[in-house]
Chain A
Amino acid sequence: MYVAVKGGERAIDNAHAFLAEERRGDPAIAVLTVPQIREQLRLAVNRVMAEGSLYDPDLAALAIKQARGDLIEAVFLIRAYRTTLPRHGFSSPVETAQMHMTRRISATFKDAPGGQILGPTFDYTHRLLDFRLAADGDVPPAPTAPATQGPVPHITGFLNRDGLIETADRDDTPPPDLTREPIELPADRALRLQAITRGDEGFILSLAYSTQRGYGRTHAFVGELRIGMVEVEMDIPELGFAICIGEVELTECETVNQFKGSKTEPPQFTRGYGLTFGQTERKAIAMSLVDRALRWKELGEDFTGAPAQDEEFVLMHADNVQATGFLEHIKLPHYVDFQSELELIRKLRAEAAAASQKEAAE
């Protein structure tokens, strides 16, 4: 029997009011401003920009406030907003070699030209809670030193000179865009990278970790990790030339991976690539490991059945907005579906009971 019902408007309105009050918290505590979130919870803002796939720190900070700090909900809000924007065009590919760097490290070359710049990192902190932060207080300005001028070349370029590592040759094939066309498998590397860079950090991290533990092992080292501001240029049709339209903070990771060679490729180092919005290095490193694991086919490696090698598994489950939408919808009313299941179970039980009675009688 199908019963159409409606109602709940007042309950929903009141739930929204309750939500707004809970979001505000104790009114005796000063209200949190969007600029405070933007400036002081910057890594949360970066994560929302990376997974929301929209670079706008103010919007990401607002989304975090509205979502009460639930970052996946904030990503959802950013994605929803993004769909309302007209697309003015696409940029020229950013030149990460021209980055104004705040951090740049290599795990493979101690004496990399340009040096190892630690930047604002947690790496060498002791992970002891700092109770001084519980009290307000100003921090002294960070020390400065004379900076070298000009762009710093990529480290993989030095390995390239000896032919020890595969090259990434310039190519201007227009890439597919999963925000405009549904993903079709098999996906090319450009499409995979787009899906991974906006994918859930936790999911990509776990997949990357699984490759390190042996599920599609690729023996990765971080050849170079760099973080900094990069200018974005776009061709303007009405001008007939390109201008810089702004700048974005990016994290770029290149892994150098051991490779024993295959039927088609000589023994050499291979590469995985990660590029993400904001200072988001865990994500960028994880992205480069997953990118490399997904390249097994083009490099002539064996498919070992590892999840990180399985393009369909990775690309179809990386998006946390899709995932949470499908997951959470099962808590919404399914009264009719459930009613039919209930009737089915009753019917099966009745049939089973009748069968056993008949058996006992015989």
Chain B
Amino acid sequence: MPSSHPQDPDRKSWMSLLARAPADRLASLFPDPLPDHTLLRAPEIGSVMVQGRIGGTGAPFNLGEMTVTRCSLRLTDGTVGHAYVQGRDRTHALRAATMDALMQTDAAPALRPTLDTLAAEETARRTTRAAKAAATKVDFFTMVRGEDK
């Protein structure tokens, strides 16, 4: 049975990407039917308390909750996949957990392009927004300096 690699930074990266991916986009890139699996923990909608730090860097405090759906499942070959995804979409969590499991198997190379597409689209969204913000950056022109008189 393939074992998971808890220290695998790659796994952290794909699980995070799947959590942030728009649910409908993931569904179109990785459509049904999903491979056979057993649910270890059926998709479950819940909340996560988000913490901030006082002054941005100090002691933690509780800011408020966000909705998060989680799911754990096992493929027929025994590989276990987990997902924690933002929002209340059960199929998003199910799909993300399935992808997480498949990415630990020989199916991984075939799924890479899907992850690459999601990552590229996310980067594009962020870049567009950053570019609009950058256009609102203030350029100051010094008119008169007090000490020049």
User: Which residues of A pack against B, CB within 8 Å?
Assistant: 49-50, 53-56, 58-59, 82, 85-94, 96-97, 100-103, 110-111, 115-119, 142-148, 154, 156, 167-179, 189-191, 193-194, 197-198, 229, 231-234, 236, 238-248, 250, 252, 254, 271, 273, 275, 277
Contact = CB atoms under 8 A, between A and B. Distances in A.
Contact of B47 (A85, A239, A248): A85
Given A243-B12, A243-B84, A245-B85, A91 B127 contact: no
Majority-rule SS of A interface residues: mixed
B6 A53 contact: no
- The CB with the most chain A CB atoms within 10 A, among B44, B48, B133, is that of B133
B72 interface: yes
A169 B70 CA distance: 34
A101 B133 contact: yes
B7 interface: yes
Contact of B19 (A115, A176, A240, A245): A245
Contacts of A142: 132, 135
Interface string B77-104: 0000010111110000000000000000
A244 B19 contact: yes
B128 interface: yes
Contacts of B134: 117, 144-148
Interface residues of B, number: 56
Contacts of B130: 100-101, 147
A197 B67 contact: no
A109 B74 CA distance: 55
Nearest to B142: A110
Interface string B37-51: 000000011111111
Interface string B52-76: 1111111111111111101010000
Nearest to B64: A53
